[in-house]
Chain A
Amino acid sequence: MYCLIDINNFFVSCERLFRPDLARTPVLVLSSNDGCVIARSSEVKLLDIPMGTPFFKIKELVRTHKIACFSSNFSLYADLSRRFQQCIGSEFPMEIYSIDEVFLKLPTSMPRIEDFAHSLRQRLLQEVGMPTSLGFGPTKTLAKLALLCTKQNLTLRNVCGLTCPDETRKILQKTPASKVWGIGKALSSKLSTLGITSAYDLAITSPGWIRHHFSITLERTARELMGEESIPLEETPEPRKSLQVSRSFGKPVRDLRTLHSAFSTFCENASSKLRRADLFAQGCCLSTTYTLGPSSRIPFTQTLKFTTPLQDPRLIMDKISQHLTTLFLHLEKRSLTPLSPPSFYKGSLIFFPLSPPSAQPSLFDQKISVDCSKIGLFQAIDKTHQKFGSQCLRLASSLGTSWKPKSTLQSPGYTTSWKDLPTVHAIP
């Protein structure tokens, strides 16, 4: 039996934990640069504000309904996610599916799973302060569907199990295929042209036919809906295949120095992630959007391949800065008037493929070894960051913050920074 545990409105629940005054107030959390809505409390959902709504469009609603708005505070969310996973414990095999979702594999013989689910839910609420919903079923796909039922039917008290075949069939008949785990918009519209509209239609379609006309992945989903385990628990996460660092700039960037500082910061962040995972980047995709005079935003993308797999932020930035400079000078020449230099709005670096340090270098590489000569230096840097915070020792090229995204509504780092600890009042 699989059990899926999901934190309700995760980011909002994190913000509310240290702000009991917001327990019944509508709360929403905004994406980077305070761009759009990425988490909503149930009160905000009732106001019909969909996920992804641009913030500027709902300023009026925010005022009239006194919605509490927060910039995202990812270090807080990551800390509470870690506590949530730790609190679930290691009694049963576990898959960390996302920042706020965990699958458990429970023994088939386990009696009274519903009671177990309720007591786990109660424990998570008390110990970590996170309200959760739990769905369970004989397969991961059915557990996911059970979880969906808890969100749609509030009388279930946040716990739902699809264990009885008759009841499962009724639920499958009522559920549109598009709501099934792993079925996106394009796939569901293709399925509906073939007459497969409900989850039940998919479940009773011949698996062979599905594999022939679609994919083995969809076949597995169909088998899972019938209660046949086909998607196993992934206890150890797959190694990263790529790594992305990107930001929208807080205000348009108009000079090369600032553009360098933004990308150099991306390189630093990426490098520290690569070091933690012990991986090296073999190439990178650099992209940005810019305007030239009154033009609309133009995307720019360039793919770079590194001859030697890289981890050192200085070496990576060296490659990237050449391309940035070329791009900037080229655009400056085209802009004609010095009064309207090119303006950059966002930047992104996606590193791929990633390889472990033992990976064999290509036959024609100049250097046989990867850039591990500076490992001692980076161990020292990582230790310094651990002790004094990641801002204390930086690449000189990263200095300057005028490009940084706006996050004016960010809550304090209640659990991650000594100076931001929550205050409790010792008052009459």
Chain B
Amino acid sequence: MISALWSAPDFAPFPSYLPPVYHSKVCAGFPTLIDETSSDPLDLNTYLVTNTASTFFVKVSGHSMDGANIHHGDLLIVDRSRCAKNKDIVVAALNGELVVKRLKKSKTDLWLCSENPLFPPVLVSQDESLMIWGVVTGSIHKFE
């Protein structure tokens, strides 16, 4: 095939016996389709975060949520754009402190529950200031 390419055309300004110089190598074998089928590496953000503007990461300190598989030192993914529903795990600002609890709502009362038999649920009374800071949508536990 190559010899067909360099049979010099009649109008060649140079003597036809000069061999042409190719810069690229000629490869044998089946061509790979990597270029067409390649995609970006998987990004954990797309798996863990739906709303990037309203998602924050926080660190857990303490053991009251062990039963929900949220351990001391874990990283939580908190989405502020979710509305907290009954039984959601939330980060709440309770009396000026950020806490992680399971929210339980009844018709009249609001409870912040731990997931550890040692810690009883906390009834949020009217005069306590409670603000739901965000809804926990995931937790990351790293094995060191």
Q: Give the B-binding residues of A (Cβ under 8 A).
A: 18, 20-23, 83-84, 86-87, 126-129, 414-415, 421-428
Contact = CB atoms under 8 A, between A and B. Distances in A.
Contacts of B51: 127
17 contacts: A20-B133, A83-B52, A127-B51, A127-B53, A127-B81, A421-B58, A422-B56, A423-B59, A423-B61, A423-B98, A424-B60, A424-B61, A425-B97, A425-B100, A426-B65, A426-B99, A428-B120
Interface string B54-86: 101111111111100010100110001100000
B124 interface: no
B52 A422 contact: no
Contacts of A421: 57-59, 75
Contacts, number: 88
Contact of A424 (B52, B100, B114, B129): B100
Interface string B104-144: 00000000001000111010000001010100000000000
Given A86-B53, A128-B54, A426 B114 contact: yes
Given A424-B61, A427-B61, 5 more contacts: A87-B53, A129-B133, A414-B56, A422-B59, A423-B60
The list of the 7 closest CB pairs from A to B, nearest first, reads: A21-B96, A20-B93, A426-B62, A127-B54, A86-B53, A426-B64, A428-B119
Contacts of A127: 51, 53-54, 80-81
Nearest to B94: A20
Interface residues of B, number: 36
Contacts of B54: 83, 87, 126-128
Given A20-B133, A21-B97, A128-B80, A424 B59 contact: yes
B91 interface: yes
Nearest to B60: A426
A423 B57 CA distance: 9
A177 to B, nearest CB: 38
Nearest to B57: A421
Nearest to A82: B53
A21 B131 CA distance: 11
